[in-house]
Chain A
Amino acid sequence: MNENLFTSFITPVILGLPLVTLIVLFPSLLFPTSNRLVSNRFVTLQQWMLQLVSKQMMSIHNSKGQTWALMLMSLILFIGSTNLLGLLPHSFTPTTQLSMNLGMAIPLWAGAVITGFRNKTKASLAHFLPQGTPTPLIPMLVIIETISLFIQPMALAVRLTANITAGHLLIHLIGGATLALMSISTTTALITFTILILLTILEFAVAMIQAYVFTLLVSLYLHDNT
């Protein structure tokens, strides 16, 4: 049982070739482009959703921050679609791998912070000391603020990994428990099955929320720095 639980998180490799590349590229197939004014229902739906999300997310930025619109929108689409595809049976979710999430979080955070340091150096450095701190506390507070700055990319990556991995693990465990309880006591199995249904609904929500949170935080870091 112990080995079975974590086999779904192993990076898929077929005959030594990385199958994971194909799995990471698969969500791009589900977002077709169209040059027409009135396209088919699928593309229209996606365009409507994208417009809704981009308006909501990019409205707080100034013109410099809005140059990041493409990046942030592709980010939320990618993480959202990858998380949702991972809820299909037997599928592999790339966002459960910490390596991938670090690869997304660190460059984006670093880009935002370095933009801030290059363009608004004084204001970026001023972030290290909140307003109105008593003088004796200043050295300690600068250290704490520095640590809190450097923890941001780690927190971004680990938050996404932990949420998705924990959700998948819970589904595996409770599903296995339901199956095992079926022969022992049907009532308990039914209760466990109800819990499984509720958990699956939660996982759908978590998949989308985590994508939103990731992108929102990156956009917040950007807002601070532009």
Chain B
Amino acid sequence: MNQPLQRSVGGEPVCSQGLRPLCSAERETLGVRECTCISDESDGLLEFCDVPLKEKKLLEVKLGELPSWILMRDFTPSGIAGAFQRGYYRYYNKYVNVKKGSIAGLSMVLAAYVFLNYCRSYKELKHERLRKYH
């Protein structure tokens, strides 16, 4: 029972009376959230009471669970590559792949590049400070 979705001014999905939006997790669909309207009555069937630790996002993990959450992450090469790919598409779809992209999308990348190069060459640069004793 999927109805067409309307978006409010703020970009949040709204549905007509008796329906609620259900959106995919941003991480699985590579930065784009796909939403549909489903019937309100199917509330109880779709919500888990307890989301398993593995699928929680970082901000939902409690502090005590943090070490076990980190250890459960996928550290295989394909997992790491997947993480980089998700991160890239998240940034790309938010700042570059939009209707009216601005220079900010590119400038943030270049600023991060400058910062990383500064960190890399800090060891040589710290000798150039204006100090009496280096």
List residues of A whose CB falls within 8 A of some B CB. 4, 7-8, 12, 14, 19, 26, 29-30, 32, 39-42, 85, 88-92
Q: Cβ of B120 and Cβ of A85 under 8 Å apart? A: no
List residues of B whose CB falls within 8 A of some A CB. 88, 92, 96-101, 105-106, 109-110, 113-114, 117-118, 120-121, 124-125, 127-128
Q: Cβ of B100 and Cβ of A4 under 8 Å apart? A: no
B25 to chain A, nearest CB (A): 23
Summed over the interface, the residue pairs from A and B with CB atoms below 8 Å come to a total of 49
Q: Cβ of A90 and Cβ of B114 under 8 Å apart? A: yes
- What's the dominant secondary structure at chain B's contact region? helix
Q: Cβ of A88 and Cβ of B100 under 8 Å apart? A: no
B33 to chain A, nearest CB (A): 18
With contact pairs A4-B127, A4-B128, A40-B101 given, residues A89 and B96 touching in the complex (Cβ less than 8 Å):
no
Q: Cβ of B113 and Cβ of A88 under 8 Å apart? A: yes
With contact pairs A4-B124, A4-B127, A32-B92 given, residues A42 and B105 touching in the complex (Cβ less than 8 Å):
yes
Q: Cβ of B114 and Cβ of A12 under 8 Å apart? A: no
Known A42-B101, A42-B105, A88-B117; further 19 A-B contacts with Cβ < 8 A: A7-B121, A8-B121, A14-B120, A29-B88, A32-B92, A32-B96, A40-B99, A41-B101, A42-B96, A85-B110, A88-B110, A89-B114, A89-B117, A89-B118, A90-B120, A90-B121, A90-B125, A91-B113, A92-B117
B75 to chain A, nearest CB (A): 18
A172 to chain B, nearest CB (A): 11
B130 to chain A, nearest CB (A): 9
Q: How far is the CA of A89 from the CA of B109 in the complex (A)?
A: 14
Closest residue on chain B to residue A14 by CB atoms:
B120
B24 to chain A, nearest CB (A): 21
A22 to chain B, nearest CB (A): 9
Residue in A7, A19, A30, A41 with the greatest tally of chain B CB atoms within 10 Å: A41
With contact pairs A4-B128, A7-B124, A90-B118 given, residues A85 and B113 touching in the complex (Cβ less than 8 Å):
yes
3 tightest CB-CB pairs across the interface, nearest first? A90-B117, A41-B101, A90-B118
Q: Cβ of A30 and Cβ of B109 under 8 Å apart? A: yes
With contact pairs A32-B96, A40-B98, A42-B105 given, residues A19 and B120 touching in the complex (Cβ less than 8 Å):
yes
Closest residue on chain B to residue A91 by CB atoms:
B117
With contact pairs A4-B127, A88-B110 given, residues A41 and B118 touching in the complex (Cβ less than 8 Å):
no
A20 to chain B, nearest CB (A): 11
Provide the residues of chain A in CB contact with B118, threshold 8 Å: 89-90
Between A and B, 15 residue pairs with Cβ closer than 8 Å are A7-B121, A29-B88, A30-B109, A32-B92, A39-B97, A40-B96, A40-B98, A40-B101, A41-B101, A42-B101, A85-B110, A89-B117, A89-B118, A90-B114, A90-B117
B71 to chain A, nearest CB (A): 24
B115 to chain A, nearest CB (A): 9
A200 to chain B, nearest CB (A): 15
Closest residue on chain B to residue A45 by CB atoms:
B101
Q: How far is the CA of A30 from the CA of B105 in the complex (A)?
A: 11
Q: Which of B88, B106, B121, B125 contacts A42 (CB 8 A)?
A: B106
Provide the residues of chain A in CB contact with B100, threshold 8 Å: 41
